[in-house]
Amino acid sequence: MSAPRIAVIGAGILGASIAYHLARRGADVTVLDRGQPAGEATEKSFAWVNATYGNEPPYFALRFLSMQEYRRLEREIDALEVDWQGCLIWDLGDHELEDFASRYSAWGYDVRLVERAEIAVLEPGLLAAPPRAAYAADDGTIDPRAVTRALLGAAAGQGAEIRLDDEVQDISTRPEGLRLATAAGSLDVDCCVLAAGIASSGLCARLGVALPMRPTPGLLVHSKPSVRLLHHVIEAPGLHMQQRGPRIVVGESFGGGPAPNDVEAEGLRLIERVNQHVRGAEALELERVTTGQRPIPEDGRPVVGFAPDVPGLYLATMHSGITLAPAVGRFATMEILDGARVELLAPYRPERFATS
């Protein structure tokens, strides 16, 4: 029996993870992307691996499990690295911090309240430690481009074909599966995984599948290389920052509004804010600013599973792709190749958007 032919549209971290897991199981995998690996939302992500912030128990469980799956991937793929640096959080009110720490620690997450003296020890680079913070010791960060390329490289090592700069222009049904029309020609497959971020919605519409999205803009500021200034992800009021290799990365969102017109001026402003909070940051220089659209489904939660009424079309769209990529890659592979129905994915099926 021949291996199932599967196309994965999207070479971001989510598509790369799914492609790797499928190829590792022996599927005949082709990855297609209109650009380069991690070229859209993945590259522009703050890339914080965590299971906190407003998560109901089922969503927490999925994210928490995916953090453990990252540790498996670190063992399987030599080039894949996670910086398990932990996170200090104080962009919440005092009572909110207490509720935050007690809720997640009760669910088995390593998070506790820490006072100013301990914060100063954990993060000596802060010019003024806050009176109190939540310390999530097991949180991590990744270089999203490097991890995506590591996953794609591992998929290619298992026989996957990676076709970059080859845009999928249309998807149509046929008796034996699906046909993809691309810039380079057509491709017939048994199954197509749609992991193209906000572009997934338009491709779904061509097949009559509802995938409503509400993307929101985000901005990232990258400093030029510097000495090590931070040791944890910092979630402070109005300032989210981390050390990613030799660079400081600062993130900002705009509450659903547009990103600023002058992104360089915004980047310089955020670098100055880092200088006001971090010892030694006065030497920081701006290297680049990126803006991107977060691929957020309409109700804010992931969309994972086979599309209703289109056999062979599997959807994987979510804003939390950085954290969820390892688990979704593993579970999507089980559902596609084994016909399994993974219970942890049950709340996130595409059927919830279907119209009667």
- 177: domain CATH number is 3.50.50.60
> Is residue 150 one of the residues assigned to a domain?
yes
Structural domains of the chain, count: 2
> Is residue 43 one of the residues assigned to a domain?
yes
CB neighbours (10 Å) of residue 181?
14
CA 350, chain centre distance (Å):
19
Q: Which residues contact 96 (CB under 8 A, 6 or more apart)?
A: none
**Same domain flag for 256 and 327:** no
**Same domain flag for 15 and 131:** no
**In this predicted structure, what is the pLDDT of residue 257?**
54
- Location of structure tokens 């598509």: 15
**Same domain flag for 263 and 283:** yes
> Is residue 41 one of the residues assigned to a domain?
yes
- Location of structure tokens 């599927």: 27
- Location of structure tokens 């999925």: 62
Burial tier of 276 (Cβ tally within 10 Å: 0-12, 13-18, 19+)? exposed
pLDDT under 50: residue ranges of the chain: 356
**Same domain flag for 127 and 223:** yes
**In this predicted structure, what is the pLDDT of residue 176?**
87
> Is residue 56 one of the residues assigned to a domain?
no
**In this predicted structure, what is the pLDDT of residue 355?**
66
**In this predicted structure, what is the pLDDT of residue 258?**
60
- 255: domain CATH number is 3.30.9.10
**In this predicted structure, what is the pLDDT of residue 356?**
46
| Domain end point (choices 294, 327, 344) | 294
Residue-range definition of the domain harbouring residue 41: 5-49+144-212+298-353
Distance CA 327, CA 344 (A): 10
The amino acid occupying position 296 is: I
| Tens-digit pLDDT profile for residues 113-139 | 999 999 999 999 999 999 999 999 999
DSSP letter, residue 54: S
Alpha helix stretches (DSSP H) within the chain: 13-24, 57-76, 94-106, 116-122, 144-157, 200-206, 263-277, 321-338
**Same domain flag for 32 and 125:** no
**In this predicted structure, what is the pLDDT of residue 168?**
96
CB 320 within 8 A of CB 12: no
| Domain end point (choices 254, 275, 294) | 294
**In this predicted structure, what is the pLDDT of residue 236?**
94
> Is residue 197 one of the residues assigned to a domain?
yes
CB 201 within 8 A of CB 211: yes
pTM: 0.96
**In this predicted structure, what is the pLDDT of residue 55?**
84
Q: Which tokens sit at 249?
A: 């990365």
| Domain end point (choices 269, 294, 319) | 294
**In this predicted structure, what is the pLDDT of residue 218?**
87
